[in-house]
Amino acid sequence: MSAMKSLFFFLSAVVIVFSDGSRTAFAKAASGPRVRSGITTTVTSKFFQEYRNDILSTFEQQVKAMKMPDHHQKIDVGLVTVGLVIQKQEVKDFTFDMEKSTIEIRDGKESRPSILINIRDLNIGFTMHYNILSRPDFVRDEGDGSIRIDRMNISIKLTPYSDKGHLQFEFWDAFVEVEDYGI
């Protein structure tokens, strides 16, 4: 895994050009005004085929270790103000089908060149502490809750670029399909 981290560290300092039919589009984008100097590296689909499990395992570890911030919201509905506080949010369960999940380079024939990430059969469970109250005091509820989402599929399109020598990704399209959930 340290070789993967070293590779990603290296890639964050260079401009990435993909070679699966989209090399020209990325080369043109890379030669724009954002790039002053640096190294150009070609990454092919073979990279994602060989390192797919490592990349997806890293994604899984990051989600499991994720710390979610507390959420405070006030909603004014005319005569009543409702407050919602959500604290101590924690991911309790996270799994997905690594064999069905994919990472691939899209050549941009349909739109623009991108990296397409498909996460399949994702299951996630959270716990939280909540506090709901209103002014005037019509509604009050406090307790612990959970949210469970099962058999979710996510597709995300990202376009890589370099900003001041750091690898960045522009998120520009997503599709989420949820088959089952519980609160």
Distances (CA, A) of 95 to 125, 151, 155, 170: 9, 10, 16, 26
Model confidence at 162, pLDDT cuts 50, 70, 90, reads confident
- Count helices and strands in the chain by DSSP H and E runs: 3, 7
Which of 22-31, 77-86, 110-119 comes out lowest in average pLDDT? Answer: 22-31
Q: According to the model, what pLDDT value does residue 41 have?
A: 64
Which of 25-29, 45-49, 106-110, 121-125 comes out lowest in average pLDDT? Answer: 25-29
pLDDT at residue 172 above 50?
yes
Tokens at 177, concatenated: 């399909």
Q: According to the model, what pLDDT value does residue 82 have?
A: 92
pLDDT at residue 122 above 70?
yes
Average pLDDT of 130-138?
89
Does the reported pTM lie above 0.75?
no
pLDDT at residue 144 above 90?
yes
User: Among the residues of 31-146, which ranges form H helices?
Assistant: 45-64
Model confidence at 32, pLDDT cuts 50, 70, 90, reads very low
Domain ranges of the chain: 2-67+94-128+147-182
